[in-house]
């Protein structure tokens, strides 16, 4: 498993001098460290997870956003056992995003399994940009909308408005 910190650190839960100074310099974050240690633990139990590449992780208000290789995300979405293992390790406060995702893809990942039925950019008179999203099914999302807004703002600097509409596909 590849993580933002060395393998040894991830397995032992202690940072070597090199990784420690990268943390202090802000090259990696506390979220990277926490997630690397947790994922390394899971990698020892599961061979598929052991092949994952954790590119980065962000800790935002105790929610952990994992940036993984695209194929890793595909596997997580299709393998309930792996999904459950990861969710359990992160106390259910975990989100999966494809590394290198565009803003749109980032939001699609955050909203998964809901589909975005419409996405609009709205420019405000002050030059700020709002991203307006309409999703068709609100049942699962209502409680998550605020979290998604907050995470999108902090990681991608996207000011997002999520609205619930009828399925117009």
Residue 53 three-state SS: strand
Q: What DSSP letter does each residue of 119-147 carry, written as one string?
A: EEEEE-TTS-EEEEEEES--TTTTTTHHH
Residue 57: Cβ within 10 Å count = 27
Shortest Cβ 4–Zn ion spacing (Å): 10
By rule CB under 5 A, what count of residues binds Zn ion?
A: 4
Q: Which stretch binds Zn ion (CB under 5 A): 14-22, 117-125, 128-136, 150-158?
A: 14-22
Residue number, 54 or 94, with CB nearest to Zn ion: 54
> Which 44-103 residues touch Zn ion, going by CB under 5 A?
none
Comparison of 4 and 133: residue with beta carbon closer to Zn ion: 4
Q: Which residue is nearest to Zn ion (CB)?
A: 19
HSE-up (13 A, CA, CB side) for residue 151: 26
| Of 6, 23, 134, 155, the one binding Zn ion by CB under 5 A | 6
Residues 15-44 that bind Zn ion (CB under 5 A): 16, 19
**Beta pairing, strands 129-135 & 94-98:** unpaired
63: tokens are: 């929610």
133 close to 110: Cβ distance less than 8 angstroms: no
**Per CB under 5 A, 116 contacts Zn ion:** no
The residues binding Zn ion (CB under 5 A) are 6, 9, 16, 19
């Amino acid at each position: 498993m590849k993580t933002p910190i060395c393998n040894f650190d991830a397995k032992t839960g202690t940072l070597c001098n090199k990784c420690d100074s990268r943390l202090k310099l802000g090259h990696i974050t506390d979220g990277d460290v926490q997630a690397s240690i947790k994922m390394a633990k899971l990698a020892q139990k599961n061979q598929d997870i052991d092949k994952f590449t954790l590119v980065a992780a962000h800790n935002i208000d105790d929610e952990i956003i994992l940036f993984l290789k695209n194929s890793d995300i595909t596997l997580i979405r299709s393998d309930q056992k792996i999904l459950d293992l990861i969710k359990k390790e992160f106390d259910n406060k975990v989100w999966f995003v494809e590394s290198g995702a565009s803003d749109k893809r980032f939001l699609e990942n955050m909203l998964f399994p809901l589909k975005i039925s419409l996405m609009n950019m709205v420019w405000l008179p002050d030059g700020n940009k709002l991203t307006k999203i309409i999703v068709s099914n609100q049942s699962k999302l209502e409680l998550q909308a605020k979290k998604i807004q907050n995470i999108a703002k902090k990681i991608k600097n996207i000011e997002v408005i999520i609205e619930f509409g009828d399925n117009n596909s």
